[in-house]
A and B are shown apart, each in its own frame.
Chain A
Amino acid sequence: DIQTTQSPSALSASVGDRVTITCRASQSISTFLCWYQQKPGKAPKLLIYAASSLQSGVPSRFGGSGSGTDFTLTINSLQPEDSATYYCQQTYSVPYTFGQGTRLEIK
């Protein structure tokens, strides 16, 4: 199975800041990497697919990059509504493993 390791597990930032979350796969997964946002009691919401493509309707302050084994999710100009847990997921091969999640707190 491909392991996906996400870091950090939690971070705190202020409105207007830029934050970066990283995801590392245990083997090359090309660009089969997605990023999701989940708020408490809600279903995950797709933000980024194919490592760097922005899902329709997602604000442009969200961006993704990377290929192979190393990926990043960047959120520019943080907004209060960005407070959530963020997950990466590899969809290169089953089982489609998720990262452990990153809890983002807005100060």
Chain B
Amino acid sequence: EVQLVESGGSLVQPGGSLRLSCAASGFTFSSHWMSWVRQAPGRGLEWVANMNQDGSQFFHVGSVKGRFTISRDNAKNSLYLQMNSLRADDTAVYFCARLVGNTGWRSCDIWGQGTMVTVSS
């Protein structure tokens, strides 16, 4: 079964750090771009970051640049999001997703169940 399972979410104080993990199974992880997407409570979806198959290309949304870092370990079939200098507005459910595509299209076809990050004192 193709699956993504996130972990690592918790309650953290403002200014703190957290590392999220996403374990992939059922497909060739090293062949796919991967993404992180977040959703604040009661709000819409926000794309956070992408990384290519070997980790040599990555992109982050402006609001997290310099604070969050996406990474991956293909030997462990895992995607990570290192989150530093956390702020209250980073409070959200964080989803990892598989990015697929071809000429003229890209989409997130497989999603994890999400992990909750709460930033509060």
Query: Taking beta carbons and an 8 Å cutoff, which residues of A are in contact with B?
Result: 1, 30-32, 34, 36, 38, 42-46, 49-51, 53, 55, 87, 89, 91, 94-101
Q: Shortest CB–CB separation between residue B92 and chain A, in angstroms?
A: 13
Q: Is the CB of A44 within 8 A of B95?
A: yes
Whether B35 is near chain A, meaning CB under 8 Å from some CB there, is yes
Q: Which of B29-56 contact A (CB under 8 A)?
A: 35, 37, 44-47, 50
Q: Is the CB of B47 within 8 A of A96?
A: yes
Q: Shortest CB–CB separation between residue B69 and chain A, in angstroms?
A: 15
- Give the docked Cα–Cα distance between A30 and B105 (Å): 9
- A87's partner among B45, B104, B114 (CB-CB below 8 A) is B45
- Give the docked Cα–Cα distance between A51 and B59 (Å): 23
- Give the docked Cα–Cα distance between A44 and B98 (Å): 12
Query: Taking beta carbons and an 8 Å cutoff, which residues of B are in contact with A?
Result: 35, 37, 44-47, 50, 59, 61-62, 95, 99, 101, 104-109, 111-114
Chain B, interface SS category: strand
Q: Is the CB of B47 within 8 A of A30?
A: no
- A91's partner among B44, B95, B106, B114 (CB-CB below 8 A) is B106
- Give the docked Cα–Cα distance between A45 and B105 (Å): 17
Q: Is the CB of B111 within 8 A of A95?
A: no
Offer 16 A-B interface pairs, CB within 8 angstroms, sorted by A.
A31-B104, A32-B104, A34-B106, A43-B95, A44-B111, A46-B109, A49-B107, A50-B105, A51-B105, A53-B105, A91-B105, A94-B47, A94-B61, A95-B59, A97-B47, A101-B44
The residues of A that contact B44 with a CB separation of less than 8 Å are 87, 98-101
- B107's partner among A1, A50, A95, A101 (CB-CB below 8 A) is A50
Q: Is the CB of A95 within 8 A of B47?
A: yes
The residues of B that contact A101 with a CB separation of less than 8 Å are 44-45
